[in-house]
A and B are shown apart, each in its own frame.
Chain A
């Protein structure tokens, strides 16, 4: 079942690849939407079939490279299922959003189907090398998305993105090799390594292995000071590329913490958890402050991602801080971290799609070029307003649930750090409201891009169909959080259990 979910997009891509370009872009976009929609249905089926608290489900293990201790091992649990759902949903939104066509549609569609396979693959992999293969291929796919379909200095941004994250992935690989050599018999299997906990004493090898893995994941997340690749990549990527980059690729980093760094290196993690707490707090504050200074809408959203991902890093760090008897607080922090991953994916995905709408109408992302859009495009302005409020963590949306849990869990274990991170919420609120105010309210004004008629069309049907469901899901999870938490919580309790 999992293999079907993961490889379905790739199979569709192979089928579409043989159709000549002359068949028209409709064929490709239609195939893309069908494939992504089917995948969403399949994920929903596996979700309803999953019984919370039963650990790994839908496991499948096939010998792949036994000589090197590598196997094709997949499975899902409460930590990966939400992200699987998020990934499938965001790719569907991207497909629907792109229905009106991009240039060079065939290549674009094939590339995205490929990306979907590797993104889904990351969240199902239970083997370090399998994880790494998907992780690395996602970078390759995104590189071509940015350099082939981006704006502005997209080549340079794509290269920067590639180099940074590739360096991170190689550091990750070194860490994996360390784990591989530490466990007897040598294996890359995540479940086997977790069971034997080879570096339990911390040991001389524990710290460098965690440093390598941590570096790789922090770059991908991205956390201050490794975030510099992200704003240019986001600014120059096409809208749907940004959605996948922020919504899915960043989650690979944070997911790596809960799937690999914490369960495989529990002893070392709790010893060095304070490093991640500090980096998390700095990211929260730094991301918010820099976002406040942005003039470019997309750049601003990119920096708020640094801020939002900072909460996740803070939470996983806080969960690792050794302190007996606070198990509930720690599992709360981990639950909040996973919820935040989902919530951030939905809301930032929506924000980037809205930024794409802005760019397609006015040819610019600069906030000073726009004003009073609510007068021309009430639906657009409404969507921006709702997304902004949801993103700053207003109750009723998923972001509130996530931040509430992170801060509650964090205050119990890492009191000072969490208290320091609190103003981040205030700054985010300020900057999002300011952006809303500048773009949507006031005197109506839009830039005059060459060759387009003056005026600002409201959301088209396909754009609404792509953006509004994301907000709907965020609202649903905010009102009925049990839908999500019921799955995550047992897995989080099990995860913090390894810290004793």
Chain B
């Protein structure tokens, strides 16, 4: 059926015919039926990567096929969400090896975007933890690939935004945990220089992320809170928590019922940040033990917070710059804060070493913030793109909805090799999205 579809940023919205499947033969039939199609998970990429005239929803293809509780391996179909995976593995003492800032994404989406978490500098991106992936390719064959088998397909699938085919079944490894809690430390940083120094100082922590206040100027430019954490051991827990160390207390969820004018969200985040910065966090450093959910998924507590940006939607701008390009970080952040169009908060993370074919992460700093769609925005972001390029950085395809094709080709050094592999497995360009057509990774029809 034709319907209006948009991903998390509510931009762009397109008319799409989306079909679902729950069995392999149904998937094969749908893929065979169309000349142009793209897999769609839970639509948590922000832009147009999983949008096309025909998309195929993986959400009903969500069965867990094997859970090796002893050694920590999970084998599952690609449409299962991280949320469901956590419900299964946490009570048995296991955790996701890598998780993005929301648990409402599918395993297929985790691989297709090769997602990163707050532990990238220690554990790499999701693909590092994948044992093997089955991919249904354009000719109807399902091919197993891994770090050692059909490696070209594997590296083009991890971070490949669905262009090699539909990821069907995945086996990946899990991380052992003693408790469902995180021992976190929040540290205040007066400005950008200080927070970068702190990242360096706290780099032995498994998880780290900083929230930057984008409104401050002068000495306080880049004022932020760095949050680092480790999985808590039973010894870290309070007696109450220790009664059921692997179970979380019941939580409630707020829902954003309809689209709000964007200033509401900004006012809300300003208040929240100030509350943290000046309020309970008045000491420079504070350590406590919290359930894993607010630590990893603070935004998931407000269902549909994206509607807070209003009807025209928003784009998230996320780039990475190499370690030696910190001056670029300052330049770009200054441009953003001078313009005053971005969200009040930006998220800063550090990436460890990774050189993949097409995945986003590279060793360096990554910054992400939201921009409500408005007149003139895309021209402004084009200017930022040039700065990112000058500083040898690149943009995250999973957040992108508007990058010009030449920026992509100049900033992803292996784009050509990636495209060759895609064409080897899909000579007619069956798997394509609005994004892949826009970036000329596939030939627009």
Chain A partners chain B: no
